[in-house]
């Protein structure tokens, strides 16, 4: 199972504020240590020219990110200090997402050990989402395969409104978002938009999620699923939106990946959100997602 990785720069690793950008490395190291993944399955992706981001972002925004010239309030919105060093990292993470989509079409399942930045809009980003790799990848796929039906499944606990804002005019790309939010209702809803009560527990979450997801899959009949898995539904996540335990998240990831892999629907898995006070826990939760996908990939690979 190929896992695409963004090129992580040592100087970025030293910056604590950028943890969400490199947490994939933490999970990747865990999976390698446990022999769940082998070194040959990890593929480093190169940075992309900024022109590759133009399908989703304005020239002005790209210029500011490439040159590290975002205003302070824009950086505060992102929760990140943007220096010129950040661009190669995030653009290689977009490359990882595009690569996982392309590979999923031929190998049925692939993972991007980063990505899922659903809070990035055309000319600004929120909460660590600098570029919307999901929308960029969907647009690349549309250009290469004009009739491909794409379903974006977003199980990150907050709303994927940035993705919706960038893809609403593509009739063959559908979005499914299962989320909760505080008092602020997002302006761009998904095609299959499921809002659940804040602090939902694991049992109610699973019942509703699997029911609504089955409907979305049945109606959209996708040729490719891009799954923003996200682990922010964990009860210790700083978003404080849901109350799932680690074992419940793992069970969720087993069920979702099984529903897709067993039914031979090409699947690209992105890490998405997750930010605990303890970064090792965040890495572990993402590690669990990839382990669940790998389990199903091995289980059903003979029938693929």
Rounded to a whole number of angstroms, the minimum distance from the CB of residue 230 to Zn ion is 6
Residue 122 vs 223, nearer CB to Zn ion:
122
DSSP 165-207: HHHTT-TTEEEEEEE--SS---SS--SEEEE--TTEEHHHHHH
Q: Given the rule CB under 5 A, which of 28-36, 65-73, 132-140, 151-159 is the region that contacts Zn ion?
A: 151-159
Residue 274 in contact with Zn ion, rule: CB under 5 A: no
Q: Given the rule CB under 5 A, which of 19-27, 84-92, 177-185, 271-279 is the region that contacts Zn ion?
A: 271-279
Which 50-109 positions form the footprint of Zn ion (CB under 5 A)? none
Residue 156 vs 191, nearer CB to Zn ion:
156
Q: Given the rule CB under 5 A, which of 41-49, 99-107, 272-280, 290-298 is the region that contacts Zn ion?
A: 272-280
Q: Token pair of 152, please?
A: 């974006």
Q: Given the rule CB under 5 A, which of 52-60, 99-107, 265-273, 280-288 is the region that contacts Zn ion?
A: 265-273
Q: Which of 286, 234, 223 is nearest to 260 (CA)?
A: 223
Residue 9 vs 56, nearer CB to Zn ion:
56
Spell out the long-range contacts of 12-16 with Cβ–Cβ below 8 A and sequence spacing 24 or more: 12/85, 12/86, 12/89, 15/81
| Residue selected from 222, 273, 274, 283 as contacting Zn ion according to rule CB under 5 A | 273
Phi (first) and psi of residue 276, to 5 degrees? -95, 160
Rounded to a whole number of angstroms, the minimum distance from the CB of residue 211 to Zn ion is 22
Residue 20 in contact with Zn ion, rule: CB under 5 A: no
Residue 186 vs 273, nearer CB to Zn ion:
273
Residue 133 vs 156, nearer CB to Zn ion:
156
| Residue selected from 74, 133, 154, 158 as contacting Zn ion according to rule CB under 5 A | 158
Residue 74 vs 158, nearer CB to Zn ion:
158
What DSSP designation does 276 have?
B
Q: Which of 114, 59, 60, 110 is nearest to 88 (CA)?
A: 114
Residue 133 in contact with Zn ion, rule: CB under 5 A: no
Identify the bridge partners of residue 121 per DSSP, sorted by sequence position. Answer: none
Angle between helix 86-107 and helix 59-66 axes, rounded to 10 deg:
120
Q: Are 181 and 159 in contact (CB under 8 A)?
A: yes
Rounded to a whole number of angstroms, the minimum distance from the CB of residue 46 to Zn ion is 26
| Residue selected from 74, 154, 156, 237 as contacting Zn ion according to rule CB under 5 A | 156
Q: Token pair of 214, please?
A: 């089955």
What DSSP designation does 35 have?
T
Q: Which of 103, 231, 218, 227 is nearest to 175 (CA)?
A: 227
Residue 237 in contact with Zn ion, rule: CB under 5 A: no
Q: List interacting residues with Zn ion (CB under 5 A).
A: 156, 158, 273
């Amino acid at each position: 199972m190929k896992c695409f990785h963004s090129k992580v720069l040592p100087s970025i690793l030293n910056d604590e504020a950028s943890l969400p950008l490199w947490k994939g490395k933490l999970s990747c190291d865990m999976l390698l240590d446990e022999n769940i993944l082998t070194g040959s399955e990890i593929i480093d992706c190169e940075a992309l020219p900024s022109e590759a981001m133009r399908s989703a972002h304005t020239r002005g925004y790209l210029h500011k990110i490439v040159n590290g010239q975002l205003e302070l309030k824009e950086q505060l919105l992102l929760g990140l200090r943007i220096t010129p060093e950040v661009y190669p990292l995030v653009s290689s993470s977009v490359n990882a997402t595009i690569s996982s989509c392309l590979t999923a079409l031929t190998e049925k399942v692939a993972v991007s050990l980063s990505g899922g930045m659903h809070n990035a809009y055309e000319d600004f980003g929120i909460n660590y989402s600098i570029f919307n790799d999901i929308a960029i990848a969907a647009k690349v796929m549309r250009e290469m395969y004009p009739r491909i039906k794409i379903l974006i499944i977003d199980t990150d606990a907050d709303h994927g409104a940035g993705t919706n804002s960038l893809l609403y005019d593509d009739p063959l790309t559908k979005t499914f978002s299962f989320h909760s939010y505080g008092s602020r209702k997002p302006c761009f809803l998904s095609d299959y938009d499921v809002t659940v009560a804040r602090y939902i527990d694991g049992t109610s979450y699973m019942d509703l999620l699997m029911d609504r997801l089955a409907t979305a899959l049945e109606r959209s009949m996708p040729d490719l699923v891009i799954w923003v898995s996200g682990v922010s539904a964990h009860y210790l996540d700083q978003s404080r939106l849901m109350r799932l335990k680690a074992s419940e998240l793992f069970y969720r990831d087993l069920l979702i990946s099984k529903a897709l892999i067993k039914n031979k629907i090409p699947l690209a898995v992105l890490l998405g959100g997750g930010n605990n006070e303890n970064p090792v826990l965040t890495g572990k939760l993402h590690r669990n997602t990839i382990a669940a996908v790998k389990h199903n990939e091995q289980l059903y690979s003979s029938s693929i």
